[in-house]
């Protein structure tokens, strides 16, 4: 007998979403066993999922890899692992996996209760748009790979896997770049091309015996202290009665086990579950702190310690957890530590301390928006200000605007804090702190989300031995991050790279970095002159803000140096007019410019709660008007909803919109003849150039952000 799939409250299923065929397995003994028992019996991972829905990514992947199921109790897609689908069941004897080739499916065991809830969710999702009835992949045979041959598995995927539009091409390019840079690409190397890709390749090679999982779907844990997990980069994905399943990027975890035992704990049978190292780090920090919409910030257990070593402030995550910010029993310094810790672990980019009516408040900028994370009585302001100024080695004068910095050590992380104190009325002061995270700051080119066209441009441009590269965008648009990634992509011992910056945001091994120092007469333009004496191949000038710097930069880029710099301009083509208006000769710009790039950061949709919506006729006309072909926007876009993961905002993190113009003969000719913006755009359009707004629309179609978010760049559209 098969279980009726549609609960009375659910809408009728459209034909062909789930069939009513005979179930190969329905209920039985397995339903009575614990998840752990079931998992051990079937050699799969037991898990209590934090969400009882199929993720949007999983639904999309199911539509590409599968067909409608042949039974009423199939495996349920819950999440993705790179190119693989994670399927969950409470009764792992079921064989129905929607026609998805078994070697692309990772199985996990869940409770019957979760199974039923997820199935309900899935029925709803699929009743709107049913799956296709057939699956061309079903007959795909698992190839026989040589053990350990990650590259072989990767190449097989490129040839056989149904990647979206040009994703395979993009992966191929990223792979070629990674090989150029590091020679051999290892598991983590593949993970950096696409999250969890290396883990999935290992799974392809080793088959179902290899337990693996996606850390994004890990539930919270409180069994192990966060610093211990941070140190070994492991995370307990399931703590059972007999075994603890541990997410790890390494196959063995003896060091973690040894330290656990040496702390006097009882021995535990640890089972390794392979996962992406970077994602494990993210889940550890996500699990130890959290901003929620209603209650402010929750932090799990911890205490506090201070370092008096000048300029370095040490905050132990373990200590912070002992602080209850609502309690009056803490010193001002403890509260400052709590605020700094909370801001940084909530991915804040900056933190503002200020008086607001009769309270003092700390606001953190998280994903580009300021949010109040802590308030205290007004009388606390002078004490907070004094502590922060003391950290930054600033004098305590209330009348002066001051700048300073200090370093913060937070568990394994080192964060540089730049501090500015500004006098306000009534002898009050405001303190603004900006966080520069040394680990998060440096990005690989592959993390910058270039399109295939853009990757190709970057590759060509960075291979040149001379020329000028411009990056434009407002403050905080991530242009420095992009330039660092560009120079780091050519950073090897055969190349002499020199920078002049204000400030030096990230220290990069192998690169000579100079900080401007106007009080001692070291400016961008004379600093550039000085560093040219060391005959660098590649030069980064932090900012091009006057004619003198612009002219020296251009001269250098015409005499055997590749010069990268940032400029204030609205878009990549207006950067050209900006240079001209600074007084640089048009023919010099035309001759030297290799590439001009512009960017903006917009908020990224929260992947846990974003909801597909059908675009209205008006929206589809907008896409069409912006030159996006009909077949590309014949798809759902997504709306921001809000859930616990994103603090109710509907967004987490940010995504960069990039506009890139590569110079060619026609464009330089136009620049030399004083061509208008419109002429320049027309010429650029012939090369596949898209405006920031058009790039934004593509991100909307890809489900990365919303139309509301990209409206802010719409003034650059035409
Ligand atoms: Zn959310």
- The pLDDT assigned to 460 comes to 93
> Do 471 and 571 touch, CB atoms closer than 8 A?
no
Cα–ligand 1 centroid distance for 708 (angstroms) = 17
Cα–ligand 1 centroid distance for 553 (angstroms) = 45
> Structurally, how many domains does the chain consist of?
4
Task: Tell me, rounded to whole angstroms, the distance of Cα 618 from its chain centroid.
Answer: 31
Beta bridge partners of 657: 600
Structural domain contains residue 296: no
CA 172 to CA 157: how far, in whole Å?
11
Structural domain contains residue 495: yes
Claim to verify: residue 544 and residue 693 sit in the same structural domain = yes
Cα–ligand 1 centroid distance for 491 (angstroms) = 38
Tell me, what CATH number does 325's domain have?
3.30.450.90
Cα–ligand 1 centroid distance for 56 (angstroms) = 12
Claim to verify: residue 417 and residue 538 sit in the same structural domain = no
Claim to verify: residue 634 and residue 497 sit in the same structural domain = yes
Average pLDDT for runs of 10 along the chain of length 718: 39 38 41 79 92 85 90 92 96 92 94 92 81 83 86 93 85 88 88 93 92 92 85 92 91 87 86 94 73 32 27 82 84 92 87 91 88 91 91 81 83 81 82 76 76 90 95 84 89 88 77 79 83 88 90 93 92 91 92 94 90 90 85 82 87 90 95 92 92 91 92 60
Domain end point (choices 440, 466, 489): 440
Cα–ligand 1 centroid distance for 646 (angstroms) = 4
> Do 597 and 576 touch, CB atoms closer than 8 A?
no
CA 364 to CA 338: how far, in whole Å?
13
Claim to verify: residue 467 and residue 404 sit in the same structural domain = no
Claim to verify: residue 521 and residue 609 sit in the same structural domain = yes
Q: What is the pTM of this model?
A: 0.61
Cα–ligand 1 centroid distance for 640 (angstroms) = 8
Cα–ligand 1 centroid distance for 236 (angstroms) = 23
Tell me, what CATH number does 246's domain have?
3.30.300
Claim to verify: residue 429 and residue 472 sit in the same structural domain = no
Cα–ligand 1 centroid distance for 651 (angstroms) = 6
Cα–ligand 1 centroid distance for 607 (angstroms) = 6
Structural domain contains residue 681: yes
Cα–ligand 1 centroid distance for 366 (angstroms) = 14
Beta bridge partners of 245: 238, 271
Structural domain contains residue 20: no
> Do 44 and 109 touch, CB atoms closer than 8 A?
yes
Q: Six-digit token pair at 9? A: 């409250």
> Do 72 and 96 touch, CB atoms closer than 8 A?
no
- The pLDDT assigned to 509 comes to 76
Structural domain contains residue 488: yes
Cα–ligand 1 centroid distance for 614 (angstroms) = 20
CA angle 370, 505, 430 (to 5 degrees): 40
Q: Is 237 helix (H, G, I), strand (E, B) or coil?
A: strand
Claim to verify: residue 556 and residue 651 sit in the same structural domain = yes
Cα–ligand 1 centroid distance for 345 (angstroms) = 17
Cα–ligand 1 centroid distance for 652 (angstroms) = 7
Cα–ligand 1 centroid distance for 48 (angstroms) = 19
- The pLDDT assigned to 707 comes to 93
- The pLDDT assigned to 28 comes to 42
Cα–ligand 1 centroid distance for 311 (angstroms) = 37
Cα–ligand 1 centroid distance for 286 (angstroms) = 14
Cα–ligand 1 centroid distance for 76 (angstroms) = 22
Structural domain contains residue 428: yes
Domain that includes residue 584, residue range: 442-716
Q: Six-digit token pair at 482? A: 């992009």
Claim to verify: residue 425 and residue 479 sit in the same structural domain = no
Structural domain contains residue 709: yes
Cα–ligand 1 centroid distance for 649 (angstroms) = 7
Cα–ligand 1 centroid distance for 215 (angstroms) = 16
Cα–ligand 1 centroid distance for 271 (angstroms) = 31
Claim to verify: residue 392 and residue 490 sit in the same structural domain = no
Number of H helices, E strands in the chain: 25, 25
Cα–ligand 1 centroid distance for 605 (angstroms) = 8
Cα–ligand 1 centroid distance for 448 (angstroms) = 23
Cα–ligand 1 centroid distance for 300 (angstroms) = 21
Residues with Cβ within 8 Å of 510's Cβ and at least 6 positions away in sequence, in order, are 491, 492, 493, 497
Cα–ligand 1 centroid distance for 653 (angstroms) = 11
Domain end point (choices 425, 440, 455): 440
Cα–ligand 1 centroid distance for 59 (angstroms) = 17
Claim to verify: residue 465 and residue 609 sit in the same structural domain = yes
Which DSSP helix (H) or strand (E) runs through 623? Answer: helix 617-625
CA 199 to CA 190: how far, in whole Å?
8
Dihedral pair phi/psi, residue 36, rounded to 5°: -65, -45
Claim to verify: residue 125 and residue 75 sit in the same structural domain = yes
Claim to verify: residue 545 and residue 558 sit in the same structural domain = yes
Structural domain contains residue 47: yes
Cα–ligand 1 centroid distance for 253 (angstroms) = 33
């Amino acid at each position: 007998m098969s279980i009726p799939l549609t609960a009375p409250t659910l809408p009728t299923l459209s034909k062909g979403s789930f069939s009513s065929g005979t179930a190969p397995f329905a209920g039985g003994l397995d339903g009575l066993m614990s998840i752990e028992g079931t998992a051990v019996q079937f050699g799969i991972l037991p898990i209590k999922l934090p969400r009882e829905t199929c993720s949007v990514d999983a639904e999309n992947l199911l539509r590409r890899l599968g067909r409608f199921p042949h039974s009423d109790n199939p495996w349920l897609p819950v999440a993705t692992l790179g190119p693989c689908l994670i399927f969950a069941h409470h009764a792992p004897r079921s064989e129905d996996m929607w026609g998805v080739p078994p070697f692309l499916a990772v199985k996990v065991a869940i409770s019957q209760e979760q199974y039923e809830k997820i199935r309900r969710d899935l029925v709803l999702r699929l009743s709107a748009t049913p799956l296709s009835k057939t699956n061309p992949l079903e007959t795909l045979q698992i190839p026989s790979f040589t053990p350990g041959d990650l590259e072989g598995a990767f190449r097989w995927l490129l040839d056989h896997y149904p990647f979206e539009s040009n994703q395979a091409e993009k992966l191929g390019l990223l792979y070629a770049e990674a090989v150029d840079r590091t020679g051999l690409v290892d598991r983590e190397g593949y993970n950096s091309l696409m999250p969890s890709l290396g883990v999935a390749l290992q799974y392809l090679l080793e088959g179902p015996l290899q337990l693996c999982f996606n850390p994004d779907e890990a539930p919270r844990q409180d069994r192990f202290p966060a610093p211990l997990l941070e140190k070994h980069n492991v995370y307990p994905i399931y703590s059972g009665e007999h075994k603890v399943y541990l997410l790890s990027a390494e196959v063995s975890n003896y060091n973690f086990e040894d330290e656990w035992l040496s702390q006097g704990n009882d021995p535990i049978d640890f089972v390794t579950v392979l996962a992406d190292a970077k994602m494990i780090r993210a889940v550890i920090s996500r699990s130890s702190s959290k901003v929620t919409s209603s209650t402010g910030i929750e932090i799990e257990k911890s205490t506090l310690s201070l370092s008096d070593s000048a300029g370095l402030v040490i905050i132990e995550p373990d200590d912070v957890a002992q602080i209850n910010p609502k309690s009056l029993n803490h010193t001002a310094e403890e509260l400052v530590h709590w605020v700094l810790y909370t801001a940084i672990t909530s991915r804040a980019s900056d933190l503002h301390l200020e008086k607001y009516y009769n309270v003092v408040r700390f606001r953190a900028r998280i994903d580009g928006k300021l949010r109040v994370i802590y308030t205290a009585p007004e009388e606390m302001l002078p004490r907070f200000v004094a502590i922060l100024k003391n950290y930054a080695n600033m004098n305590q004068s209330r009348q002066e605007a001051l700048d300073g910095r200090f370093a913060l050590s937070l568990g394994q992380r080192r964060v540089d804090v730049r501090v500015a104190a500004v006098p306000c009325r009534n002898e009050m002061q405001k303190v603004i702190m900006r966080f520069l995270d040394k680990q998060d700051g440096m990005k690989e080119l592959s993390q910058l989300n270039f399109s295939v066209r853009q990757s190709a441009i970057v590759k060509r441009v960075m291979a040149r031995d001379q020329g000028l590269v411009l990056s434009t965008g407002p403050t905080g648009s991530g242009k420095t991050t992009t330039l660092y990634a560009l120079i780091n992509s050519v950073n090897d011992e055969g190349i002499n790279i020199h920078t002049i910056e204000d400030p030096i945001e990230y220290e990069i091994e192998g690169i000579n970095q100079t900080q401007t120092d106007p009080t001692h007469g070291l400016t961008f333009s004379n600093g550039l002159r000085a560093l040219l004496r060391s005959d660098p191949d590649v030069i980064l000038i932090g900012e091009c803000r006057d004619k003198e710097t612009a002219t020296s930069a251009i001269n250098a880029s015409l005499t055997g140096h590749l010069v990268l710099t940032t400029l204030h301009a609205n878009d990549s083509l207006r950067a050209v007019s900006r240079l001209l208006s600074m007084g640089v000769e048009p023919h010099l710009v035309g001759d030297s410019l290799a590439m001009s790039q512009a960017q903006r950061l917009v908020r990224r949709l929260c992947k846990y709660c974003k909801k597909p919506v059908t675009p209205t006729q008006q929206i589809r006309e907008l896409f069409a008007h912006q030159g996006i072909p009909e077949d590309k926007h014949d798809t759902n876009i997504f709306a921001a909803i809000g859930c616990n993961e994103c603090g109710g905002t509907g967004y987490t993190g940010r995504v960069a919109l990039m506009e890139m113009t590569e110079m060619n003969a026609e464009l330089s000719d136009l620049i030399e003849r004083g061509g208008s913006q419109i002429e320049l755009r027309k010429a650029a359009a012939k090369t596949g150039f898209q405006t920031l707004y058009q790039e934004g629309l593509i991100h909307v179609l890809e489900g990365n952000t919303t139309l509301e978010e990209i409206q802010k760049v719409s003034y650059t559209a035409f």
